[in-house]
């Protein structure tokens, strides 16, 4: 176990196993960090949890270390905010500046990219990916990949367009947002297959970095994409 300097650990926090915690983290009372994965195939192997710097872990958050089924590591990046009762399962990977609101639950092997925000009491199924700057509404079930820059909502989550307000807050230009909105319309609103939509977007729109990020995410999806 390694705990970096200036990390503050509250009362009744449990930290177990091979857990590396970086600097300047704030871990609030009754959290459980690095406890064994909730997986019946796990037999006390030497798996790990790696927690970066400047994270806030609020009350009763649970973060499990990994199984042996992937890279033996659960990894949480920097400057994330995990609110009370959030759960990060085995083998998950969180980027930087991710927010899990109260009671948000991640199944094993979930990957979440930077600046994504997940609403309260939301549940993400195993092996799902959440793209950068996505906003996922509360009380949803997420069973497929959520592309970057998107909003989802509903009990069985559906896409509802570009996360325009969130992108404005993050400093994206209106021109960039307009390109992403046009891409969303072509791919999701014009009754095309993903393959045809991607081809049409490449033909019609300027390939700015954000659009390339979106298309690369769609092309690389193994779980399938929310519609």
90 is annotated as an active-site residue: yes
Whether the CB-CB separation of 188 and 196 falls below 8 Å is answered with no
* Per annotation, catalytic residue among 91, 107, 133, 197: 91
Computed from CA positions of residues 185, 97, 166, 124, in that sequence, does the dihedral angle turn out positive or negative?
positive
CA of 13: how far to CAs of 34, 62, 94, 210, in Å?
A: 11, 10, 21, 40
108 is annotated as an active-site residue: yes
Residues 6+ apart with CB under 8 A from 184: 150, 159, 161, 162
* Per annotation, catalytic residue among 52, 108, 137, 166: 108
* Per annotation, catalytic residue among 17, 87, 90, 95: 90
18 is annotated as an active-site residue: no
Element (H, E) at 156: none
By annotation, the residues acting in catalysis are: 90-91, 108
């Amino acid at each position: 176990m390694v705990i970096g300097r200036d990390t503050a650990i509250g009362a009744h926090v449990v930290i177990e196993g091979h857990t590396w915690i970086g600097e300047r983290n704030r871990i609030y009372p009754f959290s459980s960090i690095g406890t064994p994965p909730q997986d019946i195939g796990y037999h006390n192997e030497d798996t790990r949890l790696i927690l970066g710097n400047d994270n806030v872990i609020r009350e009763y958050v649970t973060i499990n270390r990994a199984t042996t089924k992937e890279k033996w590591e659960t990894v949480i990046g920097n400057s994330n905010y995990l609110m009370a009762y959030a759960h990060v399962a085995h083998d998950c990977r969180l980027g930087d500046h991710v927010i899990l609101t109260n009671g948000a639950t991640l199944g094993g092997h979930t990957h979440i990219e930077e600046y994504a925000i997940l609403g309260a009491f939301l549940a993400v199924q195993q092996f799902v990916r959440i793209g950068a700057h996505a906003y996922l509404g509360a009380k949803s079930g997420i069973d497929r990949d959520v592309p970057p820059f998107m909003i989802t909502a509903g009990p069985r989550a559906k896409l509802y367009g570009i996360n325009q307000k969130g992108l404005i807050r993050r400093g994206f230009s209106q021109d960039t947002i307009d390109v992403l909105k046009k891409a969303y319309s072509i791919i999701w609103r014009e009754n095309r297959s993903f393959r045809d939509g991607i081809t049409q977007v490449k033909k019609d729109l300027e390939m700015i970095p954000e659009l390339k990020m979106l298309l690369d995410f769609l092309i690389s999806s193994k779980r399938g994409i929310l519609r």
